[in-house]
């Protein structure tokens, strides 16, 4: 390719910085780069391939001339500025919750439903982090033997909340280790040496919104009425989300068959020798783009049940890498 | 009561020290107290109600004269010395895995199956910590509407491993916060800011033994062939185990009915106002004897499904308190 003009809105945030890094690793030719953030962060300089770029204020910017713009600056910013960027002629890949369930907006995990981008109207949504890693692991099984039901409990790192959450986890941990009261902040309870079974706000269904996302996004991406029963929990881990997943398949299948599907699938790494304590852990999966699966085993309590433990870097695989991969796979497949 | 002669084997360990504390709180009359531990810890002095007790070496001790002996010094010690204590005339309450599945040994959670002690032959087993708190929460529901299947993912604190695990979590946390390599120890991977989806050794079934315990102990205590599908995970939390539990009941039931059963049950505290971020967390449940339940909600993906989040202090409710309560409830009900 000749190189596109690429923009990042929310460039100074946890995901924005990671998009910059993944672009550097995965996109050889970039004609021009423009970085956007809130008024507060505008004027900062970020380096990319030896050159310094000044961060522009999203509110005062004109997106004209940009071919693709990644948005990761919160739902409000996306609701307001994605349509403006689309109107200016850019393909927008939005990492927020703003447009995911809009029927006119494809919601894409490239390994699962790249075909969905064909119907885009300038805007493509990047799914929620906890959904992406589950979909990458389950889509190849679902293609062969439709999944009927998923019961999933998550163990989600604080980096999903943002850079300020990593900071509060560190500060609270230091305080507790020193025998002091942990400082308040970011979460409604201390997160250091603790667990918070709440991610996002409560909905009428009794689910927190993170749980609701896993239910609805999974159905949309897999184009199925698959039943999803999630419990999402914040844990005192800095990077990588982990998921304990139980699935029920439509037809009988052996453990060896499921294992071989996963072993051959794109972007999945099997880390599964439990007798030797080999399974994915968040510390070991940090800074990796793949989805790691271990503890794969038969669940004998239902006809065709399996359990697995799925770990991925939420900022990379669960956000930046998926967003960039939507773009690179579109280019590679002549869909851009 | 007149007061019994009480012994604790493993008195210097995490659970042993907690048994001492719970005896102080719950057993008014104690005629004499004797404390036992390994050769390494023998000779130490522990204080109880203003008096100092010298710890005896289990290997060289005679249990004669003791009415009840609590064992919590590991499976090997229990296998060897429980029968000796029984022969000496004591009622033994064993907190290890040594005799739990022995059909001649009642496995007791007082709120669920105190009646089982009637058949004891001198030895009663205290269930595994992760099983106890789940049983306390589920037994009252199961009595009214039999549970058919449980899918549970645990979030277990390091104190379940012992005092040395609390120490390594602190040391590893300090190292990582200082940007250093965490010291190795206790677990096959670092536990600080990490997750380890392994508790105990792998069995042929593909389950780790902690998972196997949850399956088999649940069936034995509830006297049912209830199907249990567990995933047990160690988390960087010091005290209290948490569990994300999905249940399928035999008959239809409303959320209000389940809530009212739990609200009226012995030793259960409902902490459940998710709109206001009210749910149990391990930090808040520390040093408490009750089982805390929150996030109670309908699971619409199966006919009579419910989810809940169960937290309890694993050293107290999951070990010491349950063991002491077996004894006090036997006394109170004229079963001793």
**Cβ pair B193:A238 closer than 8 A:** yes
Q: A293 has which bridge partners?
A: A270, A310
Q: What is the mean pLDDT of residues A126-131?
A: 98
Q: What is the mean pLDDT of residues A263-277?
A: 97
Question: Which residue in the set A228, A298, A302 is minimally distant from B206, CB to CB?
Answer: A298
Torsion of CA A24, A28, A33, A38, to 10 degrees: -30
Q: How far is CA A295 from the centre of its chain?
A: 22
User: Alpha-carbon distance A167 to B98, whole Å?
Assistant: 44
Torsion of CA A52, A56, A61, A64, to 10 degrees: 20
- Residue-level pLDDT at B2: 65
Per-residue pLDDT tens digits for A59-101: 999 999 999 999 999 999 999 999 999 999 999 999 999 999 9
DSSP letter, residue A107 = B
Q: DSSP assignment of A224-269, as one string?
A: S--EEEEE--B-S-SS-EEEEEEEEESS---HHHHHHHHHHSTTEE
Per-residue pLDDT tens digits for A301-329: 999 999 999 999 999 999 999 999 999 99
Would you say A313 and A289 are in contact if contact means Cβ atoms under 8 Å apart? Answer: yes
Per-residue pLDDT tens digits for A146-166: 999 999 999 999 999 999 999
User: Alpha-carbon distance A278 to A210, whole Å?
Assistant: 29
Per-residue pLDDT tens digits for A167-208: 999 999 999 999 999 999 999 999 999 999 999 999 999 999
Would you say B268 and B259 are in contact if contact means Cβ atoms under 8 Å apart? Answer: no
State the DSSP H helix or E strand holding residue B126, giving kind and residue range, or none if neither: none
Would you say B203 and B97 are in contact if contact means Cβ atoms under 8 Å apart? Answer: no
User: Alpha-carbon distance A242 to A195, whole Å?
Assistant: 14
Ordered by where they begin, the domains of chain B are: 4-127+319-332 (3.40.50.720), 131-313 (3.30.360.10)
**CB contact, 8 Å: B207 with chain A?**
yes
**Cβ pair A277:B188 closer than 8 A:** yes
User: Alpha-carbon distance A295 to B46, whole Å?
Assistant: 43
Confirm whether B129 is a catalytic residue. yes
**Residue A119: band (very low, low, confident or very high) from pLDDT cuts 50, 70, 90:** confident
Range 174-203 of A in CB contact (< 8 A) with B? 174, 177, 188-190, 193-198, 202
Rg (CA), chain A: 20
Residues of chain B below pLDDT 70: 1-2
Measured CA to CA in angstroms, residue A140 lies from A74, A82, A143, A289, B16 at distances of 31, 32, 5, 17, 49
Confirm whether A99 is a catalytic residue. no
The residue among B147, B153, B178, B191 with the most chain A CBs within 10 A of its CB, best to mutate, is B153
∠ CA B6-B11-B16 to the nearest 5 degrees? 95
Is the four-CA dihedral A69, A75, A77, A82 of positive or negative sign?
A: positive
């Amino acid at each position: 390719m000749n190189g596109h003009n690429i923009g990042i809105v929310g460039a100074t945030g946890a995901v924005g910085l990671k998009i910059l890094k993944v672009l550097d690793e995965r996109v050889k030719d970039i004609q021009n780069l423009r970085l956007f953030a809130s008024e507060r962060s505008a004027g900062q300089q970020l380096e990319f391939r030896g050159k310094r770029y000044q961060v522009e204020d999203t509110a005062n910017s004109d997106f004209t001339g940009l071919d693709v713009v990644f948005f990761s600056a919160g739902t409000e910013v996306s609701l307001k500025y994605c349509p403006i960027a689309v109107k200016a002629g850019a393909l927008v890949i939005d990492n927020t919750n703003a447009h995911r369930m809009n029927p006119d907006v494809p919601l894409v995990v490239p390994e699962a439903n790249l075909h969905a981008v064909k119907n885009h109207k300038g805007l493509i949504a990047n799914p929620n982090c906890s959904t992406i890693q589950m979909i990458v692991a389950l889509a190849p099984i679902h293609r062969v033997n439709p999944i009927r039901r998923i019961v999933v409990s998550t163990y989600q790192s604080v980096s999903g909340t943002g850079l300020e959450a990593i900071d509060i986890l560190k500060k609270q941990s230091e305080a507790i280790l020193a025998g002091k009261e942990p400082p308040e902040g970011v979460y409604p309870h201390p997160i250091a040496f603790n667990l918070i079974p709440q991610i996002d706000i409560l909905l009428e269904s009794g689910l927190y919104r993170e749980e609701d996302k896993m239910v609805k996004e999974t159905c949309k991406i897999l184009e199925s009425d698959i039943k999803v029963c999630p419990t999402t929990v914040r844990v005192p881990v800095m990077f990588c989300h982990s998921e304990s997943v139980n699935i029920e398949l439509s037809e009988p299948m052996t453990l060896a068959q499921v294992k071989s599907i996963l072993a051959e699938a794109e972007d999945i790494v099997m880390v599964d020798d439990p007798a030797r304590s080999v399974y994915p852990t968040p510390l070991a999966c940090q800074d990796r783009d793949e989805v790691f699966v271990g503890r794969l085993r038969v669940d004998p309590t239902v006809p065709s049940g399996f359990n697995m433990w799925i770990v991925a870097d939420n900022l990379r695989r669960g956000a930046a890498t998926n967003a960039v991969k939507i773009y690179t796979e579109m280019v590679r497949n002549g869909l851009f």
